[in-house]
Amino acid sequence: AADPCGRKEALSFLAPALPSLAHAQQGVIRAAIEVATSSDRPILLSAFRGSVLDLCQSKSGHEMLVQLIDSVPVFSLGFMVCEMIQNCKLLSMHRYASNVMESMLLHFHPSQLVEISSKVVEAAPSLARDPHGSRVLQTLVEYGNPTCRELLFRKLLPEIAMLTMHRTGSQVLRKALEISDANLEQLIAEAVLEGVRNKSVQVANIACSRCGSSILQQISTCRSPVVDEIHSRLAEALPQLEKSRYGRRLVRA
Protein backbone atom coordinates (compact mmCIF):
# COMPACT_ATOMS: atom_id res chain seq x y z
CA ALA A 1 0.00 0.00 0.00
CA ALA A 2 3.01 2.32 0.58
CA ASP A 3 4.17 2.01 -3.06
CA PRO A 4 1.74 3.99 -5.26
CA CYS A 5 2.86 2.29 -8.48
CA GLY A 6 2.70 -1.18 -6.97
CA ARG A 7 -0.70 -0.47 -5.45
CA LYS A 8 -2.09 0.80 -8.73
CA GLU A 9 -0.75 -2.23 -10.57
CA ALA A 10 -2.24 -4.58 -7.98
CA LEU A 11 -5.64 -2.87 -8.18
CA SER A 12 -5.56 -2.91 -11.98
CA PHE A 13 -4.79 -6.62 -11.89
CA LEU A 14 -7.56 -7.35 -9.37
CA ALA A 15 -10.23 -5.04 -10.80
CA PRO A 16 -11.77 -7.44 -13.37
CA ALA A 17 -12.13 -10.13 -10.69
CA LEU A 18 -13.43 -7.94 -7.84
CA PRO A 19 -17.18 -8.62 -8.39
CA SER A 20 -16.65 -12.38 -8.26
CA LEU A 21 -14.21 -12.07 -5.36
CA ALA A 22 -16.89 -10.19 -3.42
CA HIS A 23 -18.80 -13.47 -3.14
CA ALA A 24 -15.86 -15.49 -1.85
CA GLN A 25 -12.80 -13.46 -0.85
CA GLN A 26 -14.28 -10.58 1.14
CA GLY A 27 -10.95 -9.81 2.80
CA VAL A 28 -9.39 -9.00 -0.56
CA ILE A 29 -12.18 -6.54 -1.40
CA ARG A 30 -12.04 -4.88 2.00
CA ALA A 31 -8.30 -4.44 1.69
CA ALA A 32 -8.66 -3.01 -1.83
CA ILE A 33 -11.24 -0.47 -0.64
CA GLU A 34 -9.15 0.48 2.38
CA VAL A 35 -5.85 1.04 0.55
CA ALA A 36 -7.24 2.76 -2.55
CA THR A 37 -6.37 6.46 -2.72
CA SER A 38 -8.22 9.13 -4.69
CA SER A 39 -6.00 8.50 -7.72
CA ASP A 40 -6.69 4.75 -7.50
CA ARG A 41 -10.43 5.20 -7.13
CA PRO A 42 -11.40 5.07 -10.84
CA ILE A 43 -9.76 1.64 -11.09
CA LEU A 44 -11.57 0.39 -8.00
CA LEU A 45 -14.98 1.76 -8.97
CA SER A 46 -14.74 0.46 -12.53
CA ALA A 47 -14.78 -3.04 -11.05
CA PHE A 48 -18.20 -2.50 -9.50
CA ARG A 49 -19.91 -0.82 -12.46
CA GLY A 50 -22.47 -3.10 -14.04
CA SER A 51 -22.49 -5.49 -11.07
CA VAL A 52 -24.42 -3.50 -8.47
CA LEU A 53 -27.74 -5.35 -8.82
CA ASP A 54 -26.08 -8.73 -8.50
CA LEU A 55 -23.85 -7.70 -5.59
CA CYS A 56 -26.53 -6.01 -3.52
CA GLN A 57 -28.67 -9.16 -3.54
CA SER A 58 -25.97 -11.40 -2.08
CA LYS A 59 -24.84 -11.60 1.54
CA SER A 60 -21.18 -10.85 0.98
CA GLY A 61 -21.72 -8.64 -2.07
CA HIS A 62 -24.06 -6.25 -0.30
CA GLU A 63 -21.59 -5.94 2.57
CA MET A 64 -18.95 -4.80 0.10
CA LEU A 65 -21.27 -2.17 -1.35
CA VAL A 66 -22.11 -0.87 2.12
CA GLN A 67 -18.38 -0.63 2.88
CA LEU A 68 -17.87 1.19 -0.41
CA ILE A 69 -20.55 3.74 0.51
CA ASP A 70 -18.97 4.21 3.94
CA SER A 71 -15.44 4.63 2.56
CA VAL A 72 -15.66 6.43 -0.78
CA PRO A 73 -16.89 9.99 -1.48
CA VAL A 74 -20.52 9.50 -2.45
CA PHE A 75 -20.40 11.77 -5.50
CA SER A 76 -18.23 9.14 -7.20
CA LEU A 77 -20.94 6.50 -6.63
CA GLY A 78 -23.63 7.88 -8.91
CA PHE A 79 -23.45 4.73 -11.02
CA MET A 80 -25.06 2.84 -8.11
CA VAL A 81 -28.15 5.03 -8.36
CA CYS A 82 -28.33 4.49 -12.12
CA GLU A 83 -28.13 0.70 -11.75
CA MET A 84 -30.66 0.48 -8.91
CA ILE A 85 -33.23 3.11 -9.83
CA GLN A 86 -35.58 0.86 -11.83
CA ASN A 87 -35.70 -1.77 -9.09
CA CYS A 88 -36.13 0.33 -5.96
CA LYS A 89 -39.26 -1.46 -4.75
CA LEU A 90 -37.80 -4.93 -5.20
CA LEU A 91 -34.47 -3.96 -3.66
CA SER A 92 -36.11 -2.24 -0.70
CA MET A 93 -37.94 -5.47 0.13
CA HIS A 94 -34.87 -7.67 -0.30
CA ARG A 95 -33.12 -9.09 2.75
CA TYR A 96 -29.69 -7.82 1.72
CA ALA A 97 -30.34 -5.11 -0.86
CA SER A 98 -32.48 -3.20 1.64
CA ASN A 99 -29.32 -2.61 3.69
CA VAL A 100 -27.69 -1.01 0.65
CA MET A 101 -30.78 1.16 0.13
CA GLU A 102 -30.64 2.28 3.76
CA SER A 103 -26.93 3.06 3.52
CA MET A 104 -27.53 5.17 0.41
CA LEU A 105 -30.37 7.09 2.06
CA LEU A 106 -28.14 7.67 5.06
CA HIS A 107 -24.94 8.78 3.30
CA PHE A 108 -25.73 10.05 -0.20
CA HIS A 109 -26.28 13.76 -0.80
CA PRO A 110 -29.96 14.74 -1.17
CA SER A 111 -29.33 15.83 -4.75
CA GLN A 112 -28.32 12.24 -5.58
CA LEU A 113 -31.44 10.77 -3.99
CA VAL A 114 -34.24 12.68 -5.72
CA GLU A 115 -35.17 9.83 -8.07
CA ILE A 116 -34.61 7.01 -5.59
CA SER A 117 -36.61 8.80 -2.88
CA SER A 118 -39.43 9.34 -5.38
CA LYS A 119 -39.46 5.63 -6.27
CA VAL A 120 -39.47 4.64 -2.60
CA VAL A 121 -42.34 7.03 -1.86
CA GLU A 122 -44.33 5.63 -4.80
CA ALA A 123 -43.94 2.10 -3.41
CA ALA A 124 -44.54 3.13 0.21
CA PRO A 125 -47.91 1.34 0.77
CA SER A 126 -46.30 -2.00 -0.10
CA LEU A 127 -42.99 -1.27 1.59
CA ALA A 128 -44.65 -0.33 4.88
CA ARG A 129 -46.09 -3.84 5.16
CA ASP A 130 -42.76 -5.55 4.50
CA PRO A 131 -40.16 -5.95 7.27
CA HIS A 132 -37.25 -4.86 5.07
CA GLY A 133 -39.24 -2.20 3.22
CA SER A 134 -40.43 -0.78 6.52
CA ARG A 135 -36.83 -0.24 7.61
CA VAL A 136 -36.06 1.59 4.37
CA LEU A 137 -39.07 3.87 4.94
CA GLN A 138 -38.01 4.51 8.53
CA THR A 139 -34.57 5.56 7.29
CA LEU A 140 -36.18 7.90 4.76
CA VAL A 141 -38.38 9.37 7.51
CA GLU A 142 -35.42 9.93 9.81
CA TYR A 143 -32.90 11.28 7.29
CA GLY A 144 -35.04 12.61 4.45
CA ASN A 145 -35.91 16.29 4.18
CA PRO A 146 -39.29 17.59 5.44
CA THR A 147 -40.72 17.80 1.92
CA CYS A 148 -39.83 14.18 1.21
CA ARG A 149 -41.35 13.07 4.53
CA GLU A 150 -44.58 14.90 3.79
CA LEU A 151 -44.82 13.35 0.31
CA LEU A 152 -44.26 9.93 1.86
CA PHE A 153 -47.06 10.29 4.37
CA ARG A 154 -49.44 11.81 1.86
CA LYS A 155 -48.85 8.67 -0.22
CA LEU A 156 -49.63 6.57 2.86
CA LEU A 157 -52.62 8.70 3.85
CA PRO A 158 -55.39 6.23 2.85
CA GLU A 159 -53.49 3.43 4.62
CA ILE A 160 -52.51 5.11 7.88
CA ALA A 161 -55.50 4.13 10.02
CA MET A 162 -54.99 0.45 9.18
CA LEU A 163 -51.20 0.70 9.42
CA THR A 164 -51.51 1.68 13.08
CA MET A 165 -52.34 -1.98 13.78
CA HIS A 166 -49.78 -3.50 11.41
CA ARG A 167 -46.55 -4.84 12.91
CA THR A 168 -44.15 -3.26 10.42
CA GLY A 169 -46.39 -0.48 9.13
CA SER A 170 -46.84 0.92 12.63
CA GLN A 171 -43.05 1.20 12.98
CA VAL A 172 -43.01 3.72 10.13
CA LEU A 173 -45.68 5.78 11.91
CA ARG A 174 -43.83 5.47 15.21
CA LYS A 175 -40.61 6.76 13.65
CA ALA A 176 -42.47 9.78 12.25
CA LEU A 177 -44.00 10.57 15.63
CA GLU A 178 -40.61 10.25 17.33
CA ILE A 179 -38.93 12.96 15.26
CA SER A 180 -41.30 15.65 16.57
CA ASP A 181 -42.40 17.03 13.21
CA ALA A 182 -45.63 18.89 14.00
CA ASN A 183 -46.88 18.64 10.40
CA LEU A 184 -46.43 14.87 10.36
CA GLU A 185 -48.06 14.48 13.77
CA GLN A 186 -51.09 16.41 12.53
CA LEU A 187 -51.19 14.46 9.26
CA ILE A 188 -51.11 11.09 11.05
CA ALA A 189 -53.71 12.12 13.64
CA GLU A 190 -56.05 13.41 10.92
CA ALA A 191 -55.64 10.20 8.91
CA VAL A 192 -56.45 8.03 11.93
CA LEU A 193 -59.53 10.11 12.74
CA GLU A 194 -60.67 10.04 9.11
CA GLY A 195 -60.44 6.26 9.12
CA VAL A 196 -62.58 6.15 12.24
CA ARG A 197 -65.10 8.65 10.89
CA ASN A 198 -65.64 6.78 7.62
CA LYS A 199 -65.84 3.51 9.55
CA SER A 200 -62.95 1.85 7.74
CA VAL A 201 -61.64 1.06 11.21
CA GLN A 202 -62.99 1.32 14.76
CA VAL A 203 -61.03 3.31 17.30
CA ALA A 204 -61.55 0.50 19.82
CA ASN A 205 -59.88 -1.97 17.46
CA ILE A 206 -56.86 0.30 17.16
CA ALA A 207 -56.72 0.87 20.91
CA CYS A 208 -57.01 -2.83 21.71
CA SER A 209 -54.18 -3.88 19.40
CA ARG A 210 -50.58 -3.98 20.53
CA CYS A 211 -49.27 -1.71 17.79
CA GLY A 212 -52.31 0.53 17.59
CA SER A 213 -52.40 1.30 21.30
CA SER A 214 -48.77 2.42 21.13
CA ILE A 215 -49.46 4.74 18.18
CA LEU A 216 -52.52 6.24 19.90
CA GLN A 217 -50.44 6.81 23.02
CA GLN A 218 -47.89 8.77 20.96
CA ILE A 219 -50.62 10.74 19.19
CA SER A 220 -52.26 11.61 22.51
CA THR A 221 -49.32 13.86 23.42
CA CYS A 222 -50.06 16.15 20.46
CA ARG A 223 -52.26 19.17 21.01
CA SER A 224 -54.94 19.72 18.40
CA PRO A 225 -58.73 19.52 17.99
CA VAL A 226 -58.19 16.31 16.02
CA VAL A 227 -56.53 14.65 19.01
CA ASP A 228 -59.30 15.94 21.27
CA GLU A 229 -61.88 14.16 19.10
CA ILE A 230 -59.83 10.95 19.16
CA HIS A 231 -59.81 11.19 22.97
CA SER A 232 -63.60 11.64 22.97
CA ARG A 233 -64.10 8.58 20.81
CA LEU A 234 -61.78 6.57 23.04
CA ALA A 235 -63.83 7.64 26.05
CA GLU A 236 -66.99 6.39 24.33
CA ALA A 237 -65.28 3.04 23.73
CA LEU A 238 -64.05 2.73 27.33
CA PRO A 239 -66.04 -0.46 28.15
CA GLN A 240 -64.36 -2.24 25.22
CA LEU A 241 -60.95 -0.88 26.13
CA GLU A 242 -61.24 -2.16 29.69
CA LYS A 243 -61.63 -5.71 28.37
CA SER A 244 -58.30 -5.57 26.52
CA ARG A 245 -54.78 -5.68 27.91
CA TYR A 246 -53.60 -3.04 25.46
CA GLY A 247 -56.76 -0.99 25.81
CA ARG A 248 -56.30 -0.84 29.58
CA ARG A 249 -52.67 0.16 29.12
CA LEU A 250 -53.76 3.04 26.91
CA VAL A 251 -56.44 4.17 29.37
CA ARG A 252 -53.95 4.22 32.23
CA ALA A 253 -51.14 5.89 30.28
pLDDT surpasses 60 at 3: no
Distance CA 2, CA 121 (A): 46
What single string gives the DSSP state of each residue in 102-116? HHHHHHS-GGGSHHH
Is 214 part of any domain? yes
Q: How far out from the chain centre does Cα 179 lie?
A: 14
What's residue 87's pLDDT?
Answer: 97
Instruction: Provide the domain count of the chain.
Output: 1
222 and 184 in contact (C-beta within 8 Å)? no
Query: Are 153 and 176 within 8 A, CB to CB?
Result: yes
pLDDT tens digits, residue range 79-92? 999 999 999 999 99
Assess if residue 106 is contained within a domain: yes
Which residues fall within 8 angstroms of residue 82, CB to CB, at 6 or more apart? none
With beta carbons less than 8 A apart as the criterion, state whether 29 and 35 touch: no
Look at residue 126 and tell me if it is in a domain. Answer: yes
Whether residue 36 is contained in a domain is answered as no
Q: Which residues contact 2 (CB under 8 A, 6 or more apart)?
A: none
Give domain status of residue 151, yes or no.
yes
CB 252 within 8 A of CB 234: no
pTM over 0.85: yes
Rounded distance, CA 172 to CA 144, Å? 13
Full residue range of the structural domain in which residue 94 is found: 76-251
Contact 98, 134 (CB under 8 A): no
pLDDT digits (tens, 9 = 90+) for 40-80: 677 778 878 899 999 999 998 899 899 889 988 899 999 99
- What CATH number does the domain containing 126 carry? 1.25.10.10
d(CA 228, CA 222): 9
Are 107 and 69 in contact by the 8 Å Cβ rule? The answer is yes
Which of 201, 115, 116, 213 is CA-nearest to residue 158?
Answer: 201
How high does pLDDT run on average in the chain? Answer: 89
Report pLDDT for 45.
82
Q: Is residue 51 part of a domain?
A: no
Tell me if 56 is assigned to some domain: no
What does the pLDDT average to over 10-27? Answer: 60
pLDDT tens-place string over residues 137-193: 999 999 999 999 999 999 999 999 999 999 999 999 999 999 978 889 999 999 999
Q: Which one, of 124, 243, 220, 126, lies nearest residue 212 by Cα?
A: 220
- For 118-124, what is the mean pLDDT? 98
Looking at residue 44, what is its pLDDT?
A: 74
Higher pLDDT, 131 or 49: 131
Does residue 192 lie within any of the structural domains?
Answer: yes
Q: Given pLDDT bands bounded at 50, 70 and 90, which one contains residue 21?
A: low
**pLDDT attached to residue 1:** 46
Q: What is the pLDDT of residue 10?
A: 62
**Ranges 28-32, 71-75, 231-235: which has the least confidence:** 28-32
pLDDT surpassing 80 at residue 196: yes
